[in-house]
Amino acid sequence: MARLFLGLDSSTQSLTAVVIDADARTTVAEVSLAFDATLPAYGTRNGVLRGDDPTVVHAPPLMWAAALDRILERLPREGVDVASILAVAVSGQQHGSVYLNASAPAALAAPDPAKGLADSLSGILARATAPIWMDSSTSAECAEITRAMGGPAALAQATGSAAFERFTGPQIRKFFKTEPTAYARTAHIALVSSFVPSILAGRIAPIDPGDGAGMNLMDIASKRWHPGALAATAPGLDAKLPPIADSWSVVGPVAPYFVRRHGLSPKALVLAGSGDNPCSVVGLGLVEPGMVAISLGTSDTYFGTMPACRVSAEGEGHVFGSPAGGYMSLVCFKNGSLARERVRDALGLDWAGFAAAIRDTPPGLDGKSLLLPWFEPEITPRVLTPGVRVRGLAETDRARCRAVVEAQMMSMRIHTGWMGVRPGRIYATGGASANREILQVMADVHGCPVFRFETTASAALGAALRAFHGWSAAAGAPVPWPDVVRGLAEPVAASRVDPAPGVAPVYEARVRAYAAFERESAAG
C-alpha cells in the first residue's frame, strides 16, 4: 500500500490540497477550491470581507471549516485512496487570528458528520470574523506595543520583527481595546495555521515557531511566548494562547468525524500547522543553511535559511522559525517587477529587447553608472519618498536595463548581510525567473549558482512534506530533511546558471559603491 501524505494550504482566496506518495516520490493529486466560487454564501470577495473602512479586512473562519469538508470530498474523485493517508499537515495564511469561546474544545471534539463542520462549529466563535494579513487598521496599537517594548529595534530583537499592522499581537490589542466584552469571552486564540489542525484533530492545536514568529509575541531566540510582549499587548493573554510546539509535533490522530464522514484512517496523524511562508521554504527545498530562494514578482522576496537566530539591527525583514529546524528570513523589496517594467517601457522594449540590452552591456557597467529604482516607496531599505536616482545614465540609455537588475541584486545582497550566511545556491521563482539574463546578473552579484524553480503550490507541497517528516519521526524512523524533499522539491533540470568567470572582484567594488550611493540618496 502506498504511503500517502496530505498537505493543506488555507490561503487568502482558496484552500489547496497536495497529496504526495513518499515511496514513489511523486505528487498524487493537487486540488484547489476558490472560496468565492465554492462557498458564495459567506459573501467574500477574493476570499475576504470588507466594510466602510478600507483598512479593515477580515474573513469568516467557518468558511475555512466548510472548505475543509469540500476538499476532502474531492480527493477520492481525484483518485486518492484517502484511507492510505498516514498524516496531514496544514499551511495557513500568516497573521490571521481566530477567537474561540469556552465551548470550542467540546465542539471540536465531536462535530456531527451529518451536519458538517461549519454547522457543527457555528457556536464556538467569540468573534464572528478573523482579521487577516491584509488588515492595516492597527497603527496605534503597533506604536503602543513598540513603546512598551523599548522601541522598534528592541521589539525586533525580542520577537524577530518590528511591529507591523498585519501582525497578530497588534490585532489582539485592538480587539481588547475596542471589544473588551468579546475579548473577555475569548478562551482560546488561534492562528489560521492552528485553527485548521484544531478541527482536524478535534482539540486545540499548538502554534509552531514559524507562524508564532509572525505575531510580535514570541521570543524569537527561545521560541517561547515573550512575557513582556504579552503584557504589552493585552491582559490575561498568556491564558488564551496555546503552547508553542515544534513544527514536527503530533497534535493527535484525526478526529473520528473525519474517519466516519471522509474515510480517513483512524491512525492518520495531524501535525502542528505552520504559516504559508515557512511551509513554502520547505516546499522550495530550502532545508539547509545557505539555501536561498528569490521570488521575482510584483515585489521581490528573498527567503533564506539560517542555523542560528540572527536579527537585523535595522529591523529589516522578518525572522521566523523554520519547519526544517533553525530559522528562516523573509525580506521584501517592493520595487520588483514594477521597476523592471518601468525601465523596459520607458525604453520602448519588450522582454526580449530588455534581455538583449543586459547581454550587450558589461557586468558592473565599467564602474561608471548606478541606478536606485525607487519608483514606489520602498520597504527595504525603508524609503518613504519615492524617486529614481541615477548616476551616469541618460534617459534613453539601454544600459538602464542592466542597471536596474544589478541595483536590485546588490540591494538584496546588502540588506540580507545581517543573516551572516552567504548563499551557496539560489532558487529563482516568479515570472521574471524565465529571463536567463536576469538570472545571470543574480548569479554574478551573489557569487553562487542560480537554478530556476517552477512553483504552483509550494506552501501546500511544503505542508505535505512536513506531514511525511513528522510522521516518520513519530514512527521512530526519522528521515533527514534533504531526503524528505528529494525528488519532490527540486529545481528545473538543466536550469543552472553559474557566475561568469572574473566578475567577483567587479561586484565586490560595485556593491560598496552602491551601498554608499544608497545611503547618500536616502539621507538626501
pLDDT tens digits, residue range 112-154? 999 999 999 999 999 999 999 999 999 999 999 999 999 999 9
Question: 223 and 337 in one domain?
Answer: no
Question: 293 and 275 in one domain?
Answer: no
Question: 522 and 377 in one domain?
Answer: yes
Question: 200 and 157 in one domain?
Answer: yes
pLDDT tens digits, residue range 205-242? 999 999 999 999 999 999 999 999 999 999 999 999 99
Contacts of 455 (CB under 8 A, 6+ apart): 280, 283, 284, 429
The fraction of the chain above a pLDDT of 90, given in percent, is 92
Tell me which amino acid residue 12 is. T
pLDDT tens digits, residue range 511-524? 999 999 999 988 76
| 496: confidence class by pLDDT, cuts 50, 70, 90 | very high
Question: 275 and 291 in one domain?
Answer: no
Q: Which of 364, 322, 323, 346 is nearest to 506 (CA)?
A: 364
Mean pLDDT of 465-489: 97
Cβ atoms 244, 355 nearer than 8 A: no
Please report how many Cα atoms fall inside a 13 Å half-sphere around the Cα of residue 478, on the Cβ side.
8
Least confident of 136-145, 415-424, 461-470: 415-424
Cβ atoms 327, 321 nearer than 8 A: yes
Rounded Cα distance between 81 and 417, Å, is 47
The neighbouring-strand residues paired with 300 are 296, 333
Cβ atoms 193, 91 nearer than 8 A: yes
**Residue ending a domain, choose from 279, 306, 334:** 279
Which triple of cell numbers denotes residue 475?
A: 514512527
Question: 202 and 108 in one domain?
Answer: yes
Question: 181 and 201 in one domain?
Answer: yes
Is residue 229 included in any domain, yes or no?
yes
Is residue 79 included in any domain, yes or no?
yes
Which triple of cell numbers denotes residue 358?
A: 543586459
Number of domain units in the chain: 2
Burial, 54: exposed, middle or buried (Cβ in 10 Å; 0-12, 13-18, 19+)?
exposed
Cβ atoms 89, 470 nearer than 8 A: yes
Give the CATH number for residue 181: 3.30.420.40
Which triple of cell numbers denotes residue 285?
A: 527545498
Question: 249 and 165 in one domain?
Answer: yes
Is residue 231 included in any domain, yes or no?
yes
Rounded Cα distance between 199 and 484, Å, is 26
Residue 62 to residues 43, 255, 464, Cα–Cα distance (Å):
12, 18, 23
Is residue 460 included in any domain, yes or no?
no
Q: Which residue has better confidence, 64 or 315?
A: 64
The neighbouring-strand residues paired with 6 are 19, 88
Q: Which residue has better confidence, 250 or 2?
A: 250
**Residue ending a domain, choose from 224, 259, 279:** 279
Which triple of cell numbers denotes residue 82?
A: 484517502
| 456: confidence class by pLDDT, cuts 50, 70, 90 | confident
**Residue ending a domain, choose from 279, 309, 341:** 279
Which triple of cell numbers denotes residue 198?
A: 484544531
Residue 356 has a pLDDT of: 98
Helix, strand and coil in the chain, % to nearest 5: 40, 20, 40
Domain, as residue range, for 372: 285-454+493-524
Which triple of cell numbers denotes residue 307?
A: 542555523
Which triple of cell numbers denotes residue 149?
A: 517594548
Is residue 519 included in any domain, yes or no?
yes
| 60: confidence class by pLDDT, cuts 50, 70, 90 | very high
Mark out the alpha helices in 5-80 (DSSP H runs). Answer: 35-38, 61-77
Cβ atoms 402, 355 nearer than 8 A: no
Residue 210 to residues 8, 248, 277, 280, 320, Cα–Cα distance (Å):
16, 11, 8, 11, 5
Is residue 472 included in any domain, yes or no?
no
Question: 253 and 352 in one domain?
Answer: no
Is residue 463 included in any domain, yes or no?
no
Question: 160 and 307 in one domain?
Answer: no
Residue 524 has a pLDDT of: 65
Instruction: Please give the backbone phi and psi of residue 378, each rounded to the nearest 5 degrees, phi first.
Output: -100, 145
275, pLDDT greater than 90: yes
Question: 336 and 245 in one domain?
Answer: no
Contacts of 453 (CB under 8 A, 6+ apart): 284, 285, 293, 427, 428, 429, 433, 491, 492
Q: Are strands 57-59 and 130-131 parallel, antiparallel or unpaired?
A: antiparallel
What's the pTM?
0.92
Is residue 327 included in any domain, yes or no?
yes
Question: 214 and 304 in one domain?
Answer: no
Helix (H/G/I), strand (E/B), else coil: 263: coil
